[in-house]
Structure 1
């Protein structure tokens, strides 16, 4: 057993011994008791349910993916002003600072200090047999309790803090991808409601004119009351549709404003909005292989960093079963008189190594180790769940892409056919072959078909956005090259 009550080194060699101890600590602290990390196997199929070509979609810049300049301006404003994204950026700063705090524990802390002590010694404790009041002064450089990381506890804490920091950075990138996607879809929703509102207004104006004509004919007895009431129902239904669309467009604008982070009117002169039919959003996106998601998706990388942090915390829990060795040292001058503090012979030093060995802790260390292992298993489950969610999002978008394309083609053909029905019915009505009820039914069906086409175009564009973000796109700002 070591006896630290007597000097184990001479004052002459104290600084050298301290430096040597620190160097040995640095060499021996390279070990770690954390388990060797092995990435869990991805719990997904090797291919998507729909075949797709190879491509690095994540490298496709969002400016290139969204050519609409008004939409580009809105996305850029959201990246600059959105509060959720700002919070994510601040979380990165906090995680970086926490990592710096933890990493600092791997190095000794030195402090310069000056102290003065004054006290009374009673007579029965005085070597002279008389009480006296004494004063002492000290000045020097002190090293606070520095842990020699023989068993990797400090290193594991630093690894866990680094993984948490990297996870937070990946989470910010996930938030950016989500924000770009949400702004684009909110913009398309607002535009879809605007187009439907314009269509409803045109329909209402047309039906009001028809109603006035029928009312004039009714007043002179050339039209029945049934025709008048039927025409009135068309007018009122158009008003209901218009009011509904005005409300929905206003709410869509509010949602877009919230995402952008400031009123749209404060963004300056924005380019004119493009119609859904003229949008050049990339819809034919190659998805590649499911294994590519492990590198493309920042939320998967974030989940893996959390798993790495949990793995490192097992090393911290394991190290608690072994002795903790710390060093406290100081070197300087001390004197009973302030004027003699820096005189010859006033040099002083101290060196106090300490070993703490856990003997009985009521099962605390074992419980902490069990807890860290359970948390790692939870992190594994979260990591696998994140991968499965990513695979599902891509698969859903791919499965819907083909049918939506077919639906759009069919909807356009249906609208064209319905326009022909209205034209023929109107001609027959003027020739007295078709009734007024026939022409109103045809016009009602045409209005429904026009609205359905707008909604289908929005769905198809939203599907492309879903696939783009699901594949990890939305981080870069690569612009379209021009020749």
Structure 2
């Protein structure tokens, strides 16, 4: 008896060893992702040298209502109107809704599924096949009603990673929407400032018309006294006509700029006709906030969007890796199946089934490896895009600050030149009236004064335009608040199986 028991135990152990060996051989022959990886990582803002170009000046980050600093109620109203009716913004909102739908679809894959099915089939069964008489050779109506349930065990986290990727894509779409808002606000403010510039230049051009009219009158008087000839008169009249043409050209530019603003508002061109002349002020002092490079990554919506796309691809890489492992799906069904209607809902017609379904990729001609390589390529691209976005953002802030400082320095000299040119112009007119100088001197002084006035006006408008661009470069009041929400969503999706994702972790 002991000998027989010993032999039975030996056979059992041998069978287990055999099965284990076969299973190990199958796994070794299965598709695998050995050798496929990436060492790319997103850059940290601290690794870039910015201390000299972006000095800490104890300033404040722009607020969401940064445009209010210029004290123009109409600009504030135009921005609010654009946020309600811009087709560009509607496109961004539609993309957010689409990403949310994808996220909901991915979440459904992590949950059990229950379906109810009913079918009615009228069929003639063969009398020479598997179905015996009396059903063989006859027409029968089969009624089948089933309640089925299935659940993917997701042992390797494939569905959970797909959900995390979808949630990250949703957050990226939300950041994209904020980037569109900021771009739209900035475009309206800069175009509005351009409208203000055109009005100021028109004022200068109109003043120039008045000066040219004065020169024409003085020239007419000098001709009467024999001091000038018709040559000077014709020259004065030509200059006057040129000045009037400049006013007309500016009127056309003002009109087209109004149309541009109407388009930004998402309205027809007639909306631009009701826009009044801008009343923009100087705005706040320009001082950069502290800890700028580090905090900028959560203040710029384009950087935040790029970071979430890196996170999404990271989870897609993990999802692609999980495809190499066995997929186990549990399913069960219960219902009724009978010929005819009379016995359909009877106990004898009950049917039930339950069991697992296991899928293990063994040979796929390299499809899964190619798919994983593609995901890693997308990951490398997303990382490079993020790094480039960060570099561009730092350069953008530094460029706008440098231009503002340059405009401030130029404005001091330009205003001094303007005062001198205006004094010379008045003196030349006075001397021309008194017959102490010629028309050419007056015209030269007048052109110099005109150029000086235009230079000061353009520098002031440029400076305000650069200030608007700097507020946009600093994020326009945007603050990323998605991190807390995403951690909560990831914890719910993981359901005690894994930790929440970190959007700054690189794929391995």
TM-score when scaled to structure 1?
Answer: 0.83
2:336 and 2:344 in contact (8 A); partners too:
yes
- Residue 142 (structure 1) aligned with residue 148 (structure 2): yes
Q: Partners of 2:277 and 2:254 in 1: how far apart?
A: 17
For 2:53, what is the secondary structure of its paired residue? coil
Query: What aligned pairs does 1:21-420 form with structure 2 within 5 A after superposition?
Result: 40-42=43-45, 43-59=47-63, 61-125=65-129, 126-128=131-133, 131-143=137-149, 146-215=151-220, 217-218=222-223, 221-263=226-268, 266=271, 273-274=278-279, 279-288=281-290, 289-420=292-423
Instruction: Report if aligned partners of 2:192, 2:278 keep a CA contact under 8 Å in 1.
Output: no
Question: Conserved in 2, the CA contact under 8 Å of 1:330 and 1:350?
Answer: yes
Distance 2:449 2:382 in 1: 54
How many Å separate the matches in 2 of 1:153 and 1:375? Answer: 18
Give the superposition deviation at 1:449.
1.1
Q: Is the 8 A contact 1:285 1:468 kept in 2?
A: no
Q: Using a 3 Å threshold, how does the CA distance of structure 1 residues 197 and 270 change in structure 2: closer, same or farther?
A: closer
Cα distance change, pair 338–58 in 1 and its aligned pair in 2 (3 A) = farther
Range with greater deviation from structure 2 (170-179 or 424-433):
424-433
Question: Is the CA contact (8 Å cut-off) linking 1:35 and 1:312 kept in structure 2?
Answer: no
SS of residue paired to 1:348: strand
Q: Name the CA distance, whole Å, in 1 between partners of 2:370 and 2:180.
A: 36
Go from structure 1 to structure 2 and tell me whether the alpha carbon gap of 1:104 and 1:418 turns closer, same or farther (over 3 Å shift). same
Report deviation, 1:273.
2.6
CA contact (8 A) 2:414 2:456 kept: yes
SS in 2 for 1:116: strand
Distance 1:46 1:210, change over 3 A: closer
- TM-aligned CA deviation for residue 461 of structure 1: 0.3
Distance in 1 separating the partners of 2:147 and 2:39: 40
Question: 106-115 or 220-229: which moved more?
Answer: 220-229
What secondary structure does 1:340 align onto? coil
Alpha-carbon distance in 1 for matches of 2:339, 2:272: 72
Q: Is the 8 A contact 2:418 2:456 kept in 1?
A: yes
Question: CA shift at 1:342, angstroms?
Answer: 2.5
Question: Secondary structure of 1:339's match?
Answer: coil
Q: Alignment partner of 2:336: what SS?
A: strand
1:62 deviates by 2.6
Deviation at 1:189, TM superposition (A): 0.5
SS of 2:128 mapped into structure 1:
helix
Provide the C-alpha distance between the structure 1 equivalents of 2:435 and 2:176, rounded to a whole number of angstroms.
Answer: 68
Pairwise CA distance, 1:178: 1.2
Judge conservation of contact 2:116–2:146 (CA < 8 Å) in 1. yes
Gaps of 5+ in 1: 1-33, 477-483
**Distance in structure 1 (CA, Å) of the matches to 2:50 and 2:211:** 56
Contact 1:47 / 1:290 at 8 angstroms: preserved in 2?
Answer: no
Cα deviations by residue, 1:59-90 (Å, 9 ceiling, x for unpaired): 35235334211111111111112221121111
User: Over the residues paired in the alignment, what is the CA RMSD in angstroms?
Assistant: 2.8
Q: Give CA deviations for 1:336-384 in whole Å, capped at 9, x if unaligned.
A: 3423333334332122422121111111111111111111111111000
- Counterpart CA distance in 2 for 1:325 and 1:397 is 57
Distance 1:385 1:191 in 2: 34
Q: CA deviation at 1:411?
A: 1.7
Matched, 1:464 2:467: yes
SS at match of 2:193: helix
Return closer, same or farther for 1:210/1:429 CA change in 2, 3 Å cut-off. Answer: closer
Residues 46 and 419 of structure 1: CA distance in aligned 2, closer, same or farther (over 3 Å)? closer
Please, which moves more after superposition, 284-293 or 90-99? 284-293
Is 1:44–1:387's contact at 8 Å kept on the other side of the alignment?
no
Q: Kindly tell me: are residues 58 and 332 of structure 1, through their superposed partners in 2, closer, same or farther at Cα, counting changes over 3 Å? A: farther
TM-score (norm 2): 0.80
Match of 2:404, SS state, is helix
**1:7 maps to what in 2?**
none
Alpha-carbon distance in structure 2 between the residues aligned to 1:179 and 1:223:
57
Count of residue pairs brought into register by the alignment: 440
Question: Is contact 2:218–2:433 with CA below 8 Å preserved after alignment?
Answer: no
